[in-house]
Structure 1
Amino acid sequence: MKIGYDAKRAFYNYSGLGNYSRSALLLLQQYYPDNEYYLYTPKIKNAIPFHCGKPFIVRQPDSFLAKKFSAFWRSLSMSSAINKDRLDIFHGLSNELPSDIENANVKSIVTIHDLIFLRFPQFFSRIDNQIYLRKFKNSCLKADKIIAVSEQTKHDIVNYFQIAPEKIVVSYQGCASQFWDTVSESKKVEVKKKYALPDTFVLNVGTIEPRKNLISLIHSLNYAKHDAKIVAIGRPVKKYMAELQQLIQRKKLEDRVIFLHNVPNEDLPAIYQTASLFAYPSFFEGFGIPIVEAMASKVPVITSKGSCFPETGGDAAIYINPNNPEEIAILTDKILEDGKLRQEMIAKGLTHVQKFSDEAVVHSLMGVYKSVMAEK
């Protein structure tokens, strides 16, 4: 098959959408190298390197106007490039398809990661909400098939966009293979020293923003018996970060919370595997990939009730009310104090995350491609 992708985020996005795009492409390269994969991107200068060799073919704007107005090319005139390459399938990896996709003689698939902007519009600007609604909904209506990264996201697509459930297939995402590998003790020592990590700490990974609810985890320190520190890794949203800093100063928790920004991906597995517990009290996610990363790293997980979390964490995680810092403290104390419980959670986590293994993820994705090609 000849399969094309909107690959801008694969080349330039370091967060969730970029990670999903790169992971999917590299797994397809590894497991299904006989296909041809066309990567459409406005540019590749200063792009993220991700071993983009055969069978990948990179396509960029080729005319002066298309190069000058690359956003226009990406959204409104990509169909001519798709037709020229005679693709079988075009897959929008990050919530959207080219606006002119109906002009392309190709089967189209879009992956929808979440509709958080509709569930929690207060976390987004009005203009962003309007742009996301138009792009996401139009892509879902035009696509031949929609991939949802969780049953929760599928439910939201049906509910908010009135899309027929049979048009949507759930195909889980996994985590980078580096999280499955056991990090050497020397690497752990090196990373622990590099970031001045304590012997015992509760890890939190994700953008530091209101929806991720790090504030409840910090509040929980006031109720906890343990003396473990919190290590929070992620890009800070300025206003929310200031709120957290004020809380920490007010509660005199300066020596209990460590913030790490711009941590390179190669250091993350060692930090995960050094952690005593992973805490993820987010209000809502489309999937919650850090939960999978933690379980693959052999770390027990506590996360929120509701949303996609029981789907991602299964019977391996312990679930908390994200609005109840005292409950978070009680369960954190219990896990940190009970070695047997920790080992049981780790074992269950390793079993549960096999459904998000590289093999499971890539075979599921290829199954979607084959089913779309089989449809008339």
Structure 2
Amino acid sequence: MSDKINIGIDALGINEEGGGRTSILRYLQTIIEEANEWNYVIYLSEYEPTLTKPNVKQVILPFTRGILSRFFMQIYLPFDVIFRKLDVIHFTKGQASLVPIAKMVLTIHDLTIIHHPDIHNRLSVFYWKRIQPWMAKKMHAIFAVSKNTANDIVSHYKISPEKISVVYNTSQFHDYFNKNLTARSIINEEERQRNPYLLYVGLLALKKNLETLVRAIDLLKRNNILKPTLLIVGPRYSESDAGYILELIKDLNLQDQIIYKGKVPKEDLFEIFKNALVFVFPSIHEGFGIPCLESMELGVPLIASKTSGIVEVVGDAGVLIDDYLSPKEWAEAIHRVYQSKELRDAMIEKGYQRSTLIHSKYSPIEAIPIYRSLIQSKRNKVDGF
């Protein structure tokens, strides 16, 4: 049989800006560079210039989710894998084919729906509770974005830990830094003091717990303790989720304090992020929590929920809220960090150290021997060994 090794990777949707795009794109770039003797077929929603290589074939499919993406996964992809003679197919977005095709690898980012079914629709809950475990057991290897997610997979899906490898996410700003531009060099404390604001970056979604954050800002205002500005940056997860949050801001008469900026270009986000006085992340569950890593990397003091993968990423470098559904606890933490430069300076230093540690553990290269093992297993079986 042919000696050519062909790797397929489903990366539909990485054209959308955000931490997910950065982690998957950097993963692809690293794998392609380190194992450049292989051929790659990358399934994308849009052409990706940074993946233009002689050994890379980009298959463009103009959808990211919904019925068309499910049709692609269950009908189109199995035939395409056979047609292109792929040895391995890696699903990077949590969904995989139910049809056994090639050697299959699945990345699972989180099991939020399992932990919080009350804030998701019934069909999604059914899928993640009934279909996803069955699908995951069909995989030849599983990548989890944190130890927390890996433990969840073992606990809820009853999958052997030996099948699971942890491959951390990364920051979308990590490539900005080099010997000429360091994280410490970008801090402009004068600008932060002149125009102080809190920052949240992420989806407008119920699981992000923005209601608690909004009510904490209202509590600070009503008690004449503090009147901070909060910038909310990120896309709407759904119109119902976003509408609820934006209506709450209006009902509490906080439009002058809480400003929703929506999605912004990466370059603008970098400027907004690095000039924030404090970063706040009230999410109720995360597989990893990329914005937390970004805030530490950019020298922005961090307040976040003490839950799931956030604890693993942040460690002792930020203020973690035990009762993260309590506006009072959030208000107290914001006031304490906002008012104390000494505390913020200490958090900044710890954040640098923590982000360096997390990045040192980020190694997509670890996926290569797993691919090799699966390829060898497949070819031995085909050759009759």
TM-score, with normalisation over the residues of structure 1?
0.83
Whether 1:146 aligns to 2:145 is: no
* Pair 178,150 (structure 1): closer, same or farther in 2 beyond 3 Å: closer
| Aligned 1:131-280 pairs, distance under 5 A | 131-133=127-129, 135-177=131-173, 180-181=176-177, 182=181, 199-221=195-217, 222-223=219-220, 225-236=225-236, 237-280=238-281
The alignment's C-alpha RMSD in Å is: 3.1
Where do residues 64-143 of structure 1 align in structure 2 (5 Å cutoff)?
Answer: 71-100=70-99, 102=100, 104=101, 106-133=102-129, 135-143=131-139
User: 3-state SS of the aligned residue for 2:332?
Assistant: helix
TM alignment of 1:36-47, pairs within 5 A: 36-41=39-44, 47=46
Contact 1:174 1:358 in 2 (8 A): no
Which range moves more in the overlay, 273-282 or 52-61? Answer: 52-61
Q: What is the identity, as a one-letter code, of the residue corresponding to 2:349?
A: A
2:383 aligns to what?
none
Q: Which whole-Å deviations, capped at 9, do the CAs of 1:155-183 have from their partners, x for residues lacking one?
A: 22122222122221221111224575359
Residue 8 (structure 1) aligns with: 12
Gaps of at least 5 residues in structure 1 are: 62-68, 193-197
**Aligned letter for 1:223?**
L
Q: Give the distance between the partners of 1:183 and 1:49, measured in 2 at CA.
A: 28
Paired residue type of 2:57: I
Q: How many angstroms does 1:147 deviate by?
A: 0.8
Which of 22, 27, 32 is matched with 2:30 structurally?
Answer: 27
2: CA distance between counterparts of 1:29 and 1:158? 30
Give, in angstroms, the shift of residue 188 of structure 1: 10
8 Å Cα contact 2:313/2:358 also seen in 1: no
Cα separation, partners in 2 of 1:354 and 1:56, compared to 1, 3 Å: farther
Contact 2:167 2:362 in 1 (8 A): no
Most deviating of 136-145 and 83-92: 83-92
Contact 1:180 1:296 in 2 (8 A): no
* Preserved contact between residue 96 and residue 135 of structure 1 (Cα < 8 Å): no
* C-alpha distance 359-288 of structure 1, shift in aligned 2 (>3 A): closer
Counterpart-to-counterpart distance in 1, 2:87 and 2:16: 26
Residue 358 (structure 1) shift:
7.9
Q: Judging changes above 3 Å, is the alpha-carbon distance between structure 1 residues 114 and 70 closer, same or farther for their aligned structure 2 residues?
A: closer
Cα-to-partner distance string for 1:120-153 (whole Å, 9 max, x where unaligned)? 1222222233344455223311111111111221
Q: Which amino acid aligns with 2:43?
A: Y
Equivalent pair of 2:173/2:294 in contact (CA under 8 Å): no
State the distance in 2 between where 1:243 and 1:96 align.
29
> SS state of the match for residue 9, structure 1?
coil
Equivalent residues of 2:229, 2:258 under 8 A apart: yes
Query: Cα 1:99–1:34, aligned 2, differ >3 Å: closer, same or farther?
Result: same
Q: Across the two proteins, how many residue pairs are aligned to each other?
A: 353
Q: Which amino acid aligns with 1:21?
A: I
Superposition deviation, residue 250 in structure 1: 4.0
- The equivalent residue for 1:57 is 57
Counterpart of 1:301? 302
Tell me the amino acid that sits aligned with residue 349 of structure 1: G
Provide the secondary structure at the position in 1 that maps to 2:200: strand
Cα 1:247–1:81, aligned 2, differ >3 Å: closer, same or farther? Answer: closer
**1:304 positional shift:** 0.7
1:253 shift after superposition: 2.2
In structure 1, what is the equivalent of residue 337 of structure 2? 335
Deviations 1:329-349 (A, max 9, x none): 222222222222212211221
User: Does structure 1 conserve the Cα–Cα contact (< 8 Å) formed by 2:19 and 2:171?
Assistant: no
Distance 1:71 1:334 in 2: 47
What is the alpha-carbon distance in structure 2 between the residues aligned to residue 336 and residue 352 of structure 1?
Answer: 21
